[in-house]
Amino acid sequence: MDKINVDHMLAIEEPFMKAPLEQLKRSLRQSQKLVERETQQVNSAISSMVNNHDNLSAAEVNKTLGELVERLQTLKRKLEEAKQEETQLIRRSKQRATDLNELSTFTSTTQPEFQRWCRTRMDRILIDYMLRNGNVETAERLIENSHLEHFADTSLFALVMSTERELREENSCRSALQWCVENRSALRKIQSTLEFELRLQEFIEMIRERKTPDAIAYAKKHLAAWSDTEMPRFQRAMTLLAFSPSTNCPPYKNMFDMSRWDHLAHQFRMVIFQLFDLPAQPLLHLLLQTGLSALKTPACVSADPTEHNRNCPVCHTETLGKLAKDLPLSHHVNSNLVCRITGDKMNEDNPPMRLPNGFVYSLNSLTDMAAKNDGKVKCPRSGQVFSFSDAKKLFIS
C-alpha cells in the first residue's frame, strides 16, 4: 500500500485554482476603474451645470441630464455583465476545489476511486494542453466526455489564441493593443514592454508603406511616451525613418523582418500568462518532464533492448522515450529490485534469489516455475536450466 501525499498532489493543481482567481481580481479591478471614471464624468457634468445654472435653458439641462442617464445605464449594464461573470468564476473556483478535495478521502493509491480521480486528472491536464495549443475541438470533446466544463478556462485561452492568430496571420495589433489598454496598470506593474513593442510594430508598418508623415505623427503620439525607459530603442526606431524596407543594415533589417510578428505573438502569450499567474508551459509539459525524469534509469536508455520494460514509459524509445532523451536520470539512495519474470517488487516477503549464473529473480516466480517443472527453473535471459535448490537467497539492506 502506498500513501498519498495530498499536499504535494494538490500543489500541482495550482494553475487550475489560480486562473479563475486572477480572472476574478481582474474583473473587479476593471469594474472599479469603470465606476470611478464614469461617476467622475457624470459628477463634473453636473457640477458645471450647477455652476452655470442661470445661463442654461431648461432644454439644455434636460438634454444633458438625458445623456447622463444614458451613461449611467451603460455603466449599469456593464456592471451587470461583470457580476454574472464573477458569479460564474466564484462558482467555478468552488467546484474545482470540491473536486480536488476528494483526494483527501482516499487511503491508498490502489483504491479504484483514486484510479478514477487520476483518470479525471489526466483529462483536465489534456484539456489544458489542447486549449493552450488551440486544438479547440479536441478540447471540447474531452470536456464533454469527462464532464469537466468547470475545469476549462475556455474564454481565457480563446482570447489568447484569437489575438495570437491576428498578430501572426493578419499582422494586426488591434486586439493585442486593445487588451494592453484595458490592462495598462497591471502591465506597468510587471514592467512589461508589450505595448511599446506593439506600437513600434505599427510604426514600422507605416514606414514599410512609406507613410512617413503618418509614422512621425504616430511616433509623437504613441512612442514618445516610452522615452523614459526605452530611449535607445526609441531613437533606433526614429532612425528607421532613414532606411528603406530593403536595407541590409543589420538592426534595421531585423526591424523590418516579418518574423517580428511571431515574436510579438509569443510575447503576448507570455505576458497574459504572467498576468494571470499561469505557468508559461502547459501543465502536461511540466509533469512529463519531471515524471519521465523520475522514471528514467540506465536500463531505459540501454542499447540492449532486453533491458527495456514495455510497461515503462521511458522505454518507449519512439514516443515518450524520445521526450526523455535529454532529461536527467532518476536518483536512488536505496535499492529497488523488480523481478524480471513477474514485475513484482523483491523484498523481505518475496526475496531476490540468485541462480548459479548470477541472474536474480524473485522467490515467488522461481517457486512457481519449479512447482510446474519438477523442481527445475529456467533462466529466461540465458535459457540455462538449474535446480531450484541451487538458487541462493540474497540480502539487500
Partner 1 sequence: MDSLIRNSDKLAKHHAGASQKSLNSLAQLISTLEQHTDPAQQQHAIAATTKQITEQLKDLYTNISKYGKLVEKTFKLDLTSIGSTFDHSSVLNESILLHFLREGDFATAQVFAREAQLELPSVRGQFEEMYQRVEEIRRHELTRAIEWAVDHHDRLDSLGIPLEFSLHRLRFLQLIEEGQVTEALAHAREWFPRFSAQSMAEIEHLMGIFIYSRRLPSSPYSPLFTEQRWEDIAHMFASAFCTLLGLSSMSPLTTAVGAGARALPIVCKVSSLLREKRLEWSQQNELPVEVPVPDEMRFHSVFACPVSKEQATEDNPPMMMPCGHVVCQVSLEKLAKGVRPGSIASGRFKCPYCPGLSVLSDAKRVYF
Task: Among 55, 57, 59, 137, indicate the residue that binds partner 1 (CB under 8 A).
Answer: 137
Residue whose entry in the numeric block shows the C-alpha cell 457580476: 83
Q: Is 216 in the site for partner 1 (CB under 8 A)?
A: no
Q: How many CB atoms lie within 10 A of CB 362?
A: 24
Task: Among 172, 193, 267, 293, indicate the residue that binds partner 1 (CB under 8 A).
Answer: 293
CA pair distance 223, 40, nearest whole angstrom: 28
Q: Is 370 in the site for partner 1 (CB under 8 A)?
A: no
> Taking the complex as a whole, how short is the minimal distance between the CB of residue 269 and partner 1, in angstroms?
13
Site for partner 1 in 64-93 (CB under 8 A): 65, 68-69, 72-73, 75-76, 79-80, 82-83, 86-87, 90-91, 93
Count residues binding partner 1 (CB under 8 A): 134
Binding mask 175-214 for partner 1 (x = CB under 8 A): ----------------------------------------
Cα 222 to Cα 91, 172, 203, 244, 245: the distances in Å are: 40, 16, 9, 22, 22
Q: Tell me whether strands 345-346 and 376-378 are parallel, antiparallel or unpaired.
A: unpaired
Q: Is 267 in the site for partner 1 (CB under 8 A)?
A: no
Beta bridge partners of 376: 387
Site for partner 1 in 117-136 (CB under 8 A): 118-119, 121-122, 125-126, 129-130, 133, 135-136
b/e code 157-189 from CB counts within 10 Å (16+ = b)? beebbebbebbeeeebbebbbebbeebeebbee
CA pair distance 298, 91, nearest whole angstrom: 47
> Taking the complex as a whole, how short is the minimal distance between the CB of residue 162 and partner 1, in angstroms?
16
Q: Which of 201, 204, 223 is nearest to 212 (CA)?
A: 204
Task: Among 172, 208, 225, 291, indicate the residue that binds partner 1 (CB under 8 A).
Answer: 291
At 104 the three-state DSSP class reads helix
Q: Is 367 in the site for partner 1 (CB under 8 A)?
A: no
Q: How big is the chain, counted in residues?
A: 397
CA pair distance 297, 32, nearest whole angstrom: 55
CA pair distance 145, 349, nearest whole angstrom: 42
Task: Among 155, 239, 244, 335, indicate the residue that binds partner 1 (CB under 8 A).
Answer: 335
Which cell numbers hold the place of 295? 522514471
Nearest residue (CB) to partner 1, 76 versus 253: 76
Beta bridge partners of 350: 347
The string of DSSP codes covering 147-161 is T-GGG--HHHHHHHH
> Taking the complex as a whole, how short is the minimal distance between the CB of residue 299 and partner 1, in angstroms?
4
Q: Is 107 in the site for partner 1 (CB under 8 A)?
A: no
Task: Among 305, 310, 383, 389, indicate the residue that binds partner 1 (CB under 8 A).
Answer: 310
Rounded to the nearest 10°, the torsion over CA 139, 145, 149, 155 is 20
Beta bridge partners of 354: 360, 392
Q: Is 322 in the site for partner 1 (CB under 8 A)?
A: yes
> Taking the complex as a whole, how short is the minimal distance between the CB of residue 313 and partner 1, in angstroms?
4
Binding span for partner 1 by CB under 8 A among 161-169, 190-198, 222-230, 283-291? 283-291
Cα 382 to chain centroid distance, Å, stands at 48
CA pair distance 289, 61, nearest whole angstrom: 68
The string of DSSP codes covering 9-59 is HHHTTHHHHHHHHHHHHHHHHHHHHHHHHHHHHHHHHHHHHHHTGGGS-HH
Task: Among 59, 112, 303, 374, indicate the residue that binds partner 1 (CB under 8 A).
Answer: 112
Q: Is 224 in the site for partner 1 (CB under 8 A)?
A: no
Q: Is 147 in the site for partner 1 (CB under 8 A)?
A: no
Site for partner 1 in 40-69 (CB under 8 A): 42-43, 46-47, 49-50, 53, 61-62, 65, 68-69
Nearest residue (CB) to partner 1, 18 versus 236: 18
Q: Is 383 in the site for partner 1 (CB under 8 A)?
A: no
Nearest residue (CB) to partner 1, 159 versus 329: 329
> Taking the complex as a whole, how short is the minimal distance between the CB of residue 229 and partner 1, in angstroms?
23
